[in-house]
Structure 1
Amino acid sequence: MTDLTGKTALVTGSVQGIGLAIAKELAKAGARIAVHGLATEEEAAATCRHLEEVGAPEARFFAGDLRDPVAIDTMMSEIEGWGGADILVNNAGIQHTASLAEMPAEKWDAILAINLSAAFHTMQKSMPAMAERGYGRVINIASVHGLVASKEKAPYCAAKFGLVGLSRVAALEYANKGSKSAGGVTVNCICPGWTETAIIEPQIEARAAAHGGDRDAGIAELLSEKQPSQRTSDPSEIGALALWLCNPVAHNITGTSIPVDGGWTAQ
């Protein structure tokens, strides 16, 4: 069992989906949780209460527009004042599917900002302190689309490939910080395939429409093209992997990109 008592984790995009699932697993292990995401005041408060109910000694919501470096800097300063992040999970992301010729420029800019540049800014602000403490975990939620490409996802693939590269550079720069007993400072990507989250809902709806509104048929078609297991992942499974990466025993696992994709990238 991983014990995160005394540790603080920032999970971006943690009011729903994979981010919330990761926050729950870290909370169950005893970490304080810095919650972030698009949420009303009531939704943010409910998320914090839920995380405390499952085990977090404290959960607090921190607002920050990840398209804006100044807003990110303010958020990170507030979290530093709260004690700083021992664990950083860059999970927040957006998606828009369109051909390269038809992709709106503003969608390109927003996807690159949120899915890639925001991770650079949060890592730059938090990793020096991790090195000083001798323990730190950066877990960047990339995608199979950080390893292989698909049509109509130019900005998403560009951002996720970039996130993998950024993570490898940071892993090398911090590889010798800390110690085996303390856990060291590691940087890894988790690369989910088809996972049951809101971000894939538009693609499911499009496939279902082609099958006369049959959602199950739409999902089956979507998975049959890419994911050999023909099973989606549950966000909790991503959370379990993230938690394991936080264990000091994972001190030599750094610079990796771990697919959770039912064999997609093995093809």
Structure 2
Amino acid sequence: MAVEEYTFQLSACRELMASHPESLVIRQQVEALEDAMPDKPGIAVSFCRTLIETTCKTILVDRGQEPDDAWEAPKLIAETTKFLHLGIHDDGHTDPTLRNAAEKLLRGVNSIIDGVMEIRNAHGAAAHGSDAYAPMLDARYAEILARATDAVVGLLFKTHLNGSGKAPLARLRYGDHNDFDEWIDNDFGPFEVLETPLVASEALFRTDNNAYRAALVAFKQEQDTNQEQQEEQPDAREAEA
């Protein structure tokens, strides 16, 4: 009977990797953590904290902030959550109950990070002063930490991406605003150069990022204006009635 090959993947971390395809740092960290399971739990645990810190720094830079190199995970988490606007629905309405619950989740995240750091310092491959003959960390604990890390990355990064749809980030990536790209592509193109098809929105993004950003800001502002007018119309009809 053939033995099934063990495969370990972190779904949220892979979404982070897909959103930053040019970042070899993120790709190396995600793949190294996955490859280390289950035979190298110490290496896996070492990359858990690293991934959380990388996620926070990536979000902060996306938001136009400059994280301090001396900040460790707890400080990075605290600074990152300032820019995530927790508890806001897609229509822009803030839900106090949702915000309160999200803040409780983040307090739980801090506990998870504390646990990750303690086990990483005691049993990680990069732990200081480890005895060469010290027993290896049980792979079950490494998997729990890896899954917890994936949950932290998912909460932070998905909240970050959800907020990025409202306004352009400081670090703009093609594909973050599909509605805007579709609007351009419906009006321009398709083009073909030397038998190579070109997508208008991507061509603008790659060749003149400033023009792309300026058009995107104007597009978002027009969307907001239209939404405000639509919300005012029912109120006007009710007043007439």
Q: TM-score, normalised by structure 2?
A: 0.31
Instruction: Please report the TM-score for the alignment, with normalisation by the length of structure 1.
Output: 0.28
Q: Which has the higher contact order (CA 8 A, sep 6+)?
A: 2
Higher strand share: 1
